[in-house]
Copies of this chain bind each other. A is one copy, B any other.
Amino acid sequence: MSTSRLELIALPGLPLVQPGDDLAGLIDAGMAAAGLSLAAGDVLVLAQKIVSKANGRIVDLRTIAPSPRAVELAAAVSKDPRMVELILSEAVEVVAHRPGVLVVEHNIGVVVANAGIDHSNVEQADGSENVLLLPEDPDADCRTLRRSMADRHGVDIAVVINDSVGRAWRNGTVGLALGSAGLPALWDLRGDVDLFGRTLEVSQQALADELASAASLVQGQGDEGYPVVLIRGLEFPVDDQTARALLRPREEDMFR
């Protein structure tokens, strides 16, 4: 990869996203507001929350009847049983838990605290207790947006959906790729050589995750948030591989 200069631009002026909104149209408006046109090789990074909202992944906790298993687990981790029910319904398995936190393998394969379900940045009305779930198929959402941008602008771009997630061993959250399209999410450097002609030891770079973290630097998280970031200057081959390539198969994982 010979990228040596990269620009990250948060798109200004995006309105609050509502279920059913057309993200491609909103992004076009944001690009225009920034005085920019999409170019081949651009990468768009979208915050999970706007994709989930556009997809209508909003659930009112008042509609959830917790199962006996959820009630039991909720007591063990001191959480709302309805939330635990929702987390379990979004998860393949519980990886670890302690008071306040259920770390699960989400249905989309990502290992994430509380199934990525968020109270923040969700509109409430009439005493509702709305929470936001992760997209059901973020790779597909990325592919759809990528095709849509090719149709609208005649350029081949890449798309990443990111979220802020916790990790093993380290404090704080980093941006992680829930989905991607159009770039090698797991960049294979095997066969490349080092400065002295020997084969590289570090051989697979989690490109989509690094883009997700980079974008997070300009997205912010609160009321100043910029949910869409344009990354310009990255050199990469078009690739059908998606963020699924970043999921380590359970049988190869030493940490669950």
Contact = CB atoms under 8 A, between A and B. Distances in A.
A210 B209 contact: no
Copy total for this chain: 2
A98 B121 CA distance: 42
A94 to B, nearest CB: 11
Contacts of A246: 170-172
Interface of A: 1-10, 12, 16, 96-98, 101, 103, 110-111, 118-124, 164, 167-176, 186-187, 189, 192-198, 200-202, 204-207, 209-211, 213-214, 216-218, 220-226, 234, 245-248, 253-256
20 contacts: A3-B217, A3-B220, A4-B9, A4-B12, A4-B218, A8-B8, A8-B214, A124-B196, A164-B202, A167-B168, A167-B206, A168-B253, A168-B256, A169-B248, A170-B248, A171-B186, A172-B209, A173-B205, A175-B213, A213-B213
Given A123-B196, A210-B214, 14 more contacts: A5-B9, A8-B214, A120-B201, A168-B169, A168-B255, A171-B186, A173-B202, A173-B206, A189-B222, A194-B223, A200-B221, A205-B221, A207-B217, A210-B216
